[in-house]
Amino acid sequence: MKMENSDVKNLGRVNDSIDSAWTRMLERLSPHGGVSRMLVLLVLAFAIFAVLKPSVFLNGTNLRNIALNSPEIGVIAIAMMLAMLTGGIDLSLVAIANMAAITMSTLYTAISASNPALAEQGFVLIVLAGIAVGVLGGCINGLLISVVGITPILATLGTLQIFNGIAVAWTGGKTLDGTPAALTAVGASTLGGIPTLFFVFILLAVAVGVIVNRTPLGLRIQLQGANPTAARYSGIGRRKTLMSTYVLTGLLSGIAGVFFIARNPTASADYGASYVLLVIVIAVLGGTNPNGGFATVFGVVLATLTLQIVSSGFTALRLSSYQYAIAQGVILVAVMAIDQVRWRRRRRRPQPTAQPA
């Protein structure tokens, strides 16, 4: 049975309408507002503390410490952003990073006990083993969420407890010493006065940005978070998308574990215990929609630097960590309230009427 010309034209109009609807949705969900907001907050925070305590805050050592502390938190925040982009969350990121660091320290200590030279020469394999542990942790989360069907917050809360328990049993609750000298040297090195780890962090952020915005996987992740039902009817496999996402977050967690042990040549089960809530704050401040659908890596990088500047400024002013925690909450609540007001105003605007075909 042949289709009439009018039917073909109507079908074409329907397809065009679907495409334009997706385009309008992506434009509405555009995260560029989060980037501009974080640029303003970053400049404002830097200016305030530079005026209040210039002798301490503008010191070269303090600025290097900001750049040195940012990478490990920033990488975990980007991993959290990816999980939230699908409409989920990953509470086990820091625990996976600690497992990776403990693995590297244990391997180095065991090898160096019999052959110190071999332990130093094989530091690349030791690093790869730590990253592999991170990928394994991400695979476990992915299986629980995509195959078993457990809600992400409950699945990763459970794996958080499991990984922490394994780490405590593994280390006996003690801090492990032992890191390849080459890895420690990288953590202490600088390029033009800026820590090398900061440049590595920027390269990772660029790579993740390319994956999210320029690859089919990134598009599937965004559509899965924006509208799971539409994504399913578009032929996007939910299981494959979620599995790939959590494997990627595990990979980034393993790299964060490398940063842990490169910056501080020790490993423990409770390192970075406060990072979980911090990276959630950073991801949301950076423009990530907690319900999924859109995010921006650049915004997360700016949010990481902003909160590190605020933390350093509070230290320069001799304010406590509790006051810094309050400041985090105030910034987050204020930004979310502003976003809600802007969203309501946008919804109240009269929509243009469609012209008849």
For residue range 130-155, what is the model confidence (pLDDT) as tens digits?
999 999 999 999 999 999 999 999 99
Judge whether 64 lies within some domain. no
pLDDT exceeds 80 at position 271: yes
In a domain, 324, yes or no: no
Q: Does residue 331 lie in a domain region?
A: no
Find where tokens 């332990």 sit. 119
Range of the domain at 245: 89-273
Q: Is 345 contained in some domain?
A: no
H helix runs in the chain, sequence order: 5-28, 32-52, 54-57, 60-85, 93-114, 116-121, 123-142, 152-171, 181-188, 196-214, 216-226, 228-233, 238-263, 275-285, 297-316, 321-348
Q: How far apart are CA 131 and CA 293, in angstroms?
A: 28
Please indicate, yes or no, if residue 26 is contained in any of the structural domains: no
Residue 59 lies in a domain: no
Whether the predicted pLDDT of 320 surpasses 80:
yes
In a domain, 326, yes or no: no
Does residue 25 have a pLDDT over 70?
no
- Domain count across the chain: 1
337, two tokens = 């309230």
Of the chain, the percentage scoring pLDDT greater than 90 comes to: 55
pTM, rounded to two decimals? 0.86
- 3-state SS assignment for residue 84: helix
Least confident of 16-20, 164-168, 190-194: 16-20
Partners of 177 in the β-ladder: 266
